[in-house]
Amino acid sequence: MSRYKAWGGRFSQPTDAFMEVFSASIHYDARLFRQDIQGSMVHCRMLARQGIIAEAESDLILGGLARVKVEIEEGRLPFRDEQEDIHMHVENRLRELIGPVAGKLHTARSRNDQVATDLRLWLREEVDAIREALRTLQRILLTLAEAHIETIMPGFTHLQNAQPVTFGHHLMAYFEMLDRDRQRFAEVRQRINQLPLGAAALAGTPYPIDREWVAKELGFAGVCQNSLDAVSDRDFVIESAAACAVVMMHLSRFSEELILWSSPAFGFVELSDAFATGSSIMPQKKNPDAPELVRGKSGRVTGHLMGLLTLMKGLPLSYNRDMQEDKEAIFDTIDTVRGCLKVFAGMLAEIRVNRTAMALAAKVGFTTATDLADYLARQGIPFRKAHEVSGRLVRLCVESGRALEQLSLSEMQTADARIGPDVMEVLTVHASVNARKVIGGTAFATVRSAIEAARERLDG
């Protein structure tokens, strides 16, 4: 039997060589080493406080753990498949350093509650980092939106020019999405932040441990209330992945717009050279690789969410080894989201906006036809009828190759005699935008106050 196996007593045959490679998780769960050692140290201090191990033993273990931590930080601890995972690597090295007393660390504990604790500690930090990255991106959005409160662009539905809006207003739509994302992570964090340790393998432990104390020392808000649930719950992982998938869906939509807008057919924005690439064959090309990659990476995060749900859905209580498969999925999910948020912040901070192209496009496609209908409705015509009149005038424009404001007053009056000379005032994109002063609307003044309120929400 290998001297590293934690279950040597029961076994008479060694583990199959390929099984060892197959079951090892050390090459990815090594990234939990800080949390693993942090959890072990608090567990060890609790064992001593409760008189379960002696103070002197605890001191030896704590000193050894500190050394193991430094060794791993400095890349001096070799990872070996036969030692399976990070928990065994830490414990085995501890034994090499301080001798058999190392074996007392695992009193009143199992790898089942240990791994759940490590993962919660790790995810809590990552979720906080994501919340901060979201906040950074929101700040950049606010700055950009502020600069473009009066930049008029076409608003779209069905990707058809619909009504003029301002670029600032459009950007603030993403601010709102990211704000909900940040809330989602704050809520998920509360459910992550419960301590599983003390559940031991599945049923709890006969030792007089103090779970509440451990929870407090590790910064958890409380302890998991059912030992079976404590070791077998991974909804905190799934919820985190779901919140990540929603962020990625938002970033992917934004990416899609940036890709369209930076195409010469739109020409609304230009990405800085730092976030674009060229073509090896077409010298004129500037490709929007950063948003394309973000859009692409949203697929893998959605995939991980599906993978995690599928992983868990058939597992009987409590711990099953299947659950080791949660790690690569959640690690990659978090890394991907953090990377995408970072690239987005850099990209948006340097984006160039072509106000003229936006303003020109805002006028294309009879975007003030609704304003004309609203004008008629204000003369007392039922909106449905007003819509029809405006529609007829649009058709006249289509047929004669003109814009609405190029029709003469008499042509308009043939459609409805109640149209007066003041109609021209409502047909400009500027008037259309500024007529929408309703809460949440696109009028300059409304967007200006929306940005102010948003800044307070963000920093408050």
The set of catalytic residues is 158, 279
Distances (CA, A) of 10 to 13, 53, 203: 10, 26, 21
Cβ neighbour number for residue 175 with a 10 Å cutoff: 22
Establish if 117 lies at the interface with ligand ARG (CB under 6 A).
Answer: no
Task: Report the nearest approach of ligand ARG to the CB of residue 203 (Å).
Answer: 14
By CB under 6 A, tell whether 115 contacts ligand ARG. Answer: yes
| Residue whose C-alpha is closest to residue 112's, from 395, 322, 264, 288 | 322
Q: Whose Cβ is closer to ligand ARG: residue 158's or residue 321's?
A: 321
Q: How many angstroms separate the CA atoms of 424 and 408, rounded?
A: 10
Region from 110-118, 133-141, 203-211, 277-285 binding ligand ARG, contact rule CB under 6 A:
110-118
Q: Applying CB under 6 A, which part among 107-115, 236-244, 271-279, 444-452 lies near ligand ARG?
A: 107-115
126 makes contact with ligand ARG (CB under 6 A): no
For the window 316-345, what string marks contact with ligand ARG as x by the rule CB under 6 A? Answer: ---x-x-xx---------------------
Determine the 3-state secondary structure of 351 from DSSP. Answer: coil
Of 231 and 443, the one with the shorter C-beta distance to ligand ARG is: 231
Quote the least distance from Cβ 321 to ligand ARG, whole Å: 5
Considering the complex, state which of residue 236 and residue 366 has its C-beta at the smaller distance from ligand ARG. Answer: 236
Nearest by Cα to 134 from 82, 87, 94, 188: 188
For ligand ARG, the closer of residues 308 and 323 by Cβ is: 323
Nearer to ligand ARG, 112 or 367 (CB): 112
Of the pair 69, 111, the CB lying nearest ligand ARG is at: 111
CA-CA distance, 262 to 275, in Å (whole number)?
A: 12
CB of 77 to ligand ARG, least distance (A): 17
- Output the CA–CA distances (angstroms, integers) from residue 134 to 40, 82, 175, 245, in the order listed: 32, 40, 9, 14
Among 269, 248, 250, smallest CA distance to 260 is for: 269
- Please state the closest distance from residue 38 (CB atom) to ligand ARG, in A: 17
Q: At closest approach, how far in Å is the CB of 320 from ligand ARG?
A: 9
Q: What is the total count of residues that contact ligand ARG (CB under 6 A)?
A: 10
List residues bridging with 277 in a β-sheet: 287
Give whichever of 68 and 115 is closer to ligand ARG, judged by the CB atom: 115
* Least Å from the CB of residue 319 to ligand ARG: 6
Candidate segments 52-60, 109-117, 212-220, 363-371, binder of ligand ARG by CB under 6 A: 109-117
- Give CA separation, 307 vs 330, 338, 341, in Å: 10, 20, 23
Q: Tell me, what amino acid is at 10?
A: R
Chain-centroid distance of CA 77 in Å reads 33
25 counts as binding ligand ARG under rule CB under 6 A: yes
- Spatial distance between the Cα atoms of 446 and 145, rounded to a whole number of angstroms: 12
Using CB under 6 A as the binding rule, whether residue 85 contacts ligand ARG is answered as: yes
Q: Which residue is nearest to ligand ARG (CB)?
A: 324
Window 395 to 434, contacts with ligand ARG (CB under 6 A): none
83 binds ligand ARG (CB under 6 A): no
Q: How many Å apart are CA 291 and CA 288, to the nearest integer?
A: 6
Length of the chain: 460
CB of 326 to ligand ARG, least distance (A): 7
Beta carbon of residue 81, minimum distance to ligand ARG (angstroms, whole number): 12
* Residue whose structure tokens are 């003390």: 198
Structure tokens at 173: 């739509």
For ligand ARG, which residue of 45, 89, 111, 124 counts as binding (CB under 6 A)? 111
**Interface with ligand ARG includes 112 (CB under 6 A)?**
yes
Separation CA 393–CA 131 (nearest Å) = 50
Considering only residues 156 through 195, tell me which ones interact with ligand ARG, judged by CB under 6 A: none
Question: Taking every pair of C-alpha atoms in the chain, what is the biggest distance, in angstroms?
Answer: 101
Residues 432, 368 contacting (CB under 8 angstroms): yes
Stretch that binds ligand ARG, among 111-119, 130-138, 359-367, 421-429 (CB under 6 A): 111-119
User: 57 vs 81, which CB is nearer to ligand ARG?
Assistant: 81
CB-based contact 381:416 (threshold 8 Å): yes
CB of 58 to ligand ARG, least distance (A): 24
Residue owning tokens 């919140």: 243
Is there binding between residue 124 and ligand ARG (CB under 6 A)? no
Rounded CA separation 301/329 (Å): 8
Helix (H/G/I), strand (E/B), else coil: 29: helix
> Quick one: 42 or 323, whose CB is closer to ligand ARG?
323
Alpha helices in 227-352 (DSSP H): 227-232, 235-262, 289-313, 326-349
Binding stretches for ligand ARG (CB under 6 A): 25, 29, 85, 111-112, 115, 319, 321, 323-324
